[in-house]
Amino acid sequence: MSKAASHVDIAENVARIRDRIAKAAERAGRSAHDIGLVAVSKVVDTERVRQAVAAGITDIGENYVQEAAAKRPEVGGGPRWHMIGHLQRNKAGQAVQIFDMIQTVDTQRLAEAIGRRAQAAGRTMSVLLQVNTSGEESKSGAAPADVERLLDGVGPLPGLQVEGLMTIGRWDPDPESARREFRLLAQLAKQLERHSGLATTRLSMGMSHDFEVAIEEGANLIRVGTGIFGPRPR
């Protein structure tokens, strides 16, 4: 652990984030209770993840199957674990064992692999469809125009349950520049509710630097890493 990281007061950071969530919710005329907070702990050691859980964190986000597999047993029971990184199909079986939700389903074949492995494990996996709202080539996610078709294909699959949509905003120091993408995701969700009766619409969007904008645009699940655990080493 780096010296800087060890001096980060995680409980204080969690309190500060909750305060910012409350203020953003109020501005948007929403209840802060409707906004879930996922603490993103990639490259963060187990001890600090435990501190976050002690500070009231109930949801943990990880980007890599292997890393989550190592940490989950060490952190212990309690929090729900979310897969928020790109998932390879050959890791679907392992992912189903470790995670409570997979937020990054963006192809029919990946969904089929998850459904098959979840069924074999006797469970139903909660998933979100990841949408590439910014159109950046570096990003995973289905194109906005393809999401309806993806949901039509994935929705009926056994072994998984589509609970909503996820997106990653364009990275820009100015959080306002992601507003358009967050708005697009919220619109897509409404469209899918009408079209396919998508039931519980989870909207996972917004990170440390842009979650307030995301909340104003309807996010009900935000993913915060550095805002809680401090800067990540490169």
Ligand X SMILES: *Cc1c(COP(=O)(O)O)cnc(C)c1O
Contact status: 223 vs ligand X (CB under 6 A): yes
Map residues 181-210 to x or -, x wherever contact with ligand X holds by CB under 6 A: --------------------------xxx-
Helix (H, G, I), strand (E, B) or coil at 22: helix
Beta strands in the chain (DSSP E): 36-40, 59-62, 80-83, 101-105, 125-130, 160-166, 202-204, 221-224
Strands 202-204 and 160-166: parallel
Q: What minimum distance in Å lies between the beta carbon of 178 and ligand X?
A: 12
Pairwise CA distance, residues 168 & 144, whole Å: 13
Q: Are the C-beta atoms of residues 165 and 159 closer than 8 Å to each other?
A: no
Positions in 110-169 near ligand X (CB under 6 A)? 168
Could you tell me how many residues make up the chain?
Answer: 234
Least distance (Å) between residue 93 CB and ligand X: 22
Is residue 42 a contact point for ligand X (CB under 6 A)?
A: yes
User: Of residues 46, 63, 140, 177, which one binds ligand X by CB under 6 A?
Assistant: 63
φ, ψ for residue 5, nearest 5 deg: -65, -40
Strand partners, 39: 60, 224
Minimum distance between the CB of residue 223 and ligand X, rounded to whole angstroms? 4
224 binds ligand X (CB under 6 A): yes
Query: How many whole angstroms separate alpha carbon 231 and alpha carbon 63?
Result: 16
Site string for ligand X, 67-96 (x = CB under 6 A): -----------------xx-----------
Q: For residue 226, state whether it binds ligand X (rule: CB under 6 A).
A: yes
Site for ligand X, rule CB under 6 A: 40, 42, 63, 84-85, 168, 207-209, 223-227
